[in-house]
């Protein structure tokens, strides 16, 4: 039985056995997602995000953001509306439990410059290792094109998603430094 406690993450109210069951239920739901997000959440399409090892609470929050239309993507908005609450929790638990995406080898100068910018402007929210937390996404190993697309969206307020502190952070970073930060994030395990 699902026990959702108001204000408490649904991920904290289950025991280990329930987790195993939810991962298996999530694996079945994820077959509908695999064409785009990959069988274990590592996407083969550059503008489709990896979901593997992403934080489950963040995944759930984004699923709901598509449902309410706070986050805009015509396909994802439609698909997320057909998921029951238990399906959403299960699929988020499944992806969170998958091994992290592979790291990329990137030019050293870019990695160093990107790392310095990330430490200065991003790490306080996304974590020193880019692993995020319940409210802030993991960025380590994320798809390069997806990262670029979303950083530009926050920067240009193009309307697909809105989070003022992200707009402030990318504005401080500056358009020209985006490629270095992406290279750095691609190199993080």
**Interface with ligand HEC by CB under 6 A: which range of 8-16, 17-25, 97-105, 130-138?**
130-138
Q: Which of 40, 89, 98, 150: binder of ligand HEC (CB under 6 A)?
A: 150
Q: Any contact of residue 55 with ligand HEC (CB under 6 A)?
A: no
Q: Does residue 165 interact with ligand HEC by CB under 6 A? A: yes
The one among 90, 97, 173, 188 contacting ligand HEC by CB under 6 A: 173
Question: Rounded CA gap, 64 and 114, in Å?
Answer: 31
Q: Which is nearer to ligand HEC, 17 or 82 (CB)?
A: 82
> Whole-number minimum distance, CB 172 to ligand HEC, in Å?
7
106: Cβ contacts below 8 Å, ≥ 6 apart = 183, 184, 186, 187
Gap between the Cα atoms of 23 and 98, Å rounded:
10
Q: Could you say whether residue 33 binds ligand HEC (CB under 6 A)?
A: yes
Give the nearer residue to ligand HEC in terms of CB position, either 25 or 29: 29
Selected from 37, 111, 131, 186, the binder of ligand HEC by CB under 6 A is 37
**What is the DSSP secondary-structure string of 103-167?**
P----HHHHHHHHHHHHHHTHHHH-TTS---SSS---TT--HHHHHHHHHHHHHT-SS---HHHH
Q: Residue 92 CB: number of other CB atoms within 10 A?
A: 26
Residue with tokens 């995944």: 59
**Would you state the structure tokens that stand for residue 127, as one six-digit string?**
């974590």
Chain centroid to CA 10? 18
Contact residue for ligand HEC among 121, 180, 183, 188 (CB under 6 A): 121
**Site for ligand HEC, rule CB under 6 A:** 29, 32-33, 35-37, 47-49, 51, 59, 62-63, 73, 75-76, 79, 91, 121-122, 124-126, 135-137, 139, 147, 149-151, 160-161, 163, 165-166, 169-170, 173, 181
């Amino acid at each position: 039985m699902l026990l959702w406690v108001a204000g408490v993450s649904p991920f904290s109210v289950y025991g280990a056995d329930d987790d195993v069951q939810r991962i298996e239920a999530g694996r079945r739901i994820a077959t509908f997602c695999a064409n785009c997000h990959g069988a274990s959440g590592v996407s083969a399409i550059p503008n489709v995000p990896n979901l593997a090892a992403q934080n489950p609470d963040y995944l759930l929050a984004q699923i709901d953001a598509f449902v309410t239309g706070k986050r805009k993507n015509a396909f994802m908005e439609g698909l997320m509306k057909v998921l029951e609450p238990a399906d959403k929790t299960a699929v988020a638990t499944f992806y969170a439990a998958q091994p992290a995406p592979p790291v990329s080898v990137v030019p050293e100068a870019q990695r160093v410059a990107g790392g310095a910018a990330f430490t200065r402007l991003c790490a306080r929210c996304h974590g020193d290792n880019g692993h995020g937390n319940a409210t802030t996404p993991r960025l380590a190993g994320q798809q390069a094109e997806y990262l670029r697309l979303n950083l530009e969206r926050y920067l240009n307020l193009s309307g697909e998603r809105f989070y003022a502190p992200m707009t402030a952070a990318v504005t401080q970073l500056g358009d020209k430094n985006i490629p270095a930060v992406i290279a750095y994030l691609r190199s993080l395990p």
